Amino acid sequence: MGLKSVAVSTGSACDSESVKASHVLVAMAVPNELALTAVRFGLGRYNTAEEVDVVADEVHIVQESRMSSVAAQTYLTPEEYIASERKATLKSEYLSGEIVAMSGASNLAHNLITVNTATQLYNQLVEGGCRVFTSDMRVGISAGVSYFYPDVAVVCGELRFEDDAFDTLVNPQVIIEVLSTSTAGYDRGEKFIRYRQLESLQEYILISQDQVHVEHYLRQGKQWVLSEFSALENVLPLASIGAELSLNQIYRFVEVETDDTLQATRSV
């Protein structure tokens, strides 16, 4: 049937200590080894190994000082982050003062899955007053002092924003992320821990782009119940917004792995 479920206990403050996600901080510094190479091979005025070692030690000190200075500059207050983000040409996410650089342009599968998913939801929900957002809409989490750009977010009912710029949503009911090899751990770990701090959030969905596999987390009291879907004929119900997602439509036009064989999903 391609479907299984399991209950997951709700996140607490200790989760952030037990689940570490890899992420890239925005920082610029010349690598130590590059500087040392310049000392050892780019300059011909040092006659002895002792002289080279002395200069190398000095380079280490300078480099460490520069890197410490740059690292210190990566911390921003939420107000500084928002002001900077509104002027930036490239988006970054924010975790309690740390700036997380987002990956570059999405690949074909990621784009198709995002559009297919958002379109399904829009077609079902538009007449009911719900709003479907894609990754241009920032989501703010005041409890965790975090800001993210989910691939898809849905709100039914009143839209609430952080301020009158209307570019930071604070009450999504459903959030959807399309996974990649580099972001899967982050999306399941640190990001989900922080998303769970949104009181409005009822359902969190993770969609694989390499194989037919969708993870659906549903809030039930203090627990999040996980259901997994792995067949194109599966239909994922979204109880909190009265909608559903067909996996056949999610993966439309996308080459995915099913039963250990790459095949293209039907295009009509």
Query: At residue 30, what are phi and psi to the nearest 5 degrees?
Result: -75, 130
Amino acid identity for residue 112 in this structure: L
- 257: Cβ–Cβ under 8 A, 6 or more apart, which residues? 210, 211, 212
Please, which pLDDT band fits residue 7 given cuts at 50, 70 and 90?
Answer: low
Q: Is it true that domain 3-19+102-264 has CATH number 3.90.650.10?
A: no
For the chain, helix, strand, coil in percent to 5 are: 30, 30, 40
What global pTM score does this model have? 0.72
CA distances from 254 to 112, 113, 209, 244, 258 (A): 7, 8, 8, 19, 12
pLDDT digits (tens, 9 = 90+) for 120-172: 999 999 999 899 999 999 999 988 799 999 999 999 999 999 999 999 999 99
Structure tokens at 144: 């965790």
* Distance from C-alpha of 65 to C-alpha of 46, rounded to nearest angstrom: 24
SS3 call for 55: helix
pLDDT of residue 154: 98
Structure tokens at 97: 């003062």
Return the residue matching tokens 């990566």. Answer: 74
SS3 call for 212: coil
Amino acid identity for residue 142 in this structure: S
Q: β-pairing, 168-169 with 138-141?
A: parallel
pLDDT of residue 103: 74
Reported as type and span, the H/E element at residue 188 is helix 184-188
pLDDT digits (tens, 9 = 90+) for 89-119: 999 999 999 999 887 667 999 999 999 999 9
CA distances from 24 to 17, 27, 101, 102, 137 (A): 18, 9, 6, 8, 21
CA distances from 163 to 27, 159, 180 (A): 29, 12, 32
pLDDT of residue 257: 75
Strand arrangement, sheet containing 214-220: 3-9, 223-229, 214-220, 203-208, 174-179, 152-156, 130-134
pLDDT of residue 33: 37
DSSP string, 111-153: HHHHHHHHHHHHHHHGGGTEEEEETTSEEEETTTTEEE--SEE
* Distance from C-alpha of 266 to C-alpha of 268, rounded to nearest angstrom: 6
Mean pLDDT of 192-197: 97
Q: Where are the domains of the chain?
A: 3-19+102-264, 29-73
Average model confidence (pLDDT) across the chain: 78
Report the share of the chain in percent with pLDDT over 70: 68
Query: At residue 84, what are phi and psi to the nearest 5 degrees?
Result: -70, -40
Please, which pLDDT band fits residue 5 given cuts at 50, 70 and 90?
Answer: low
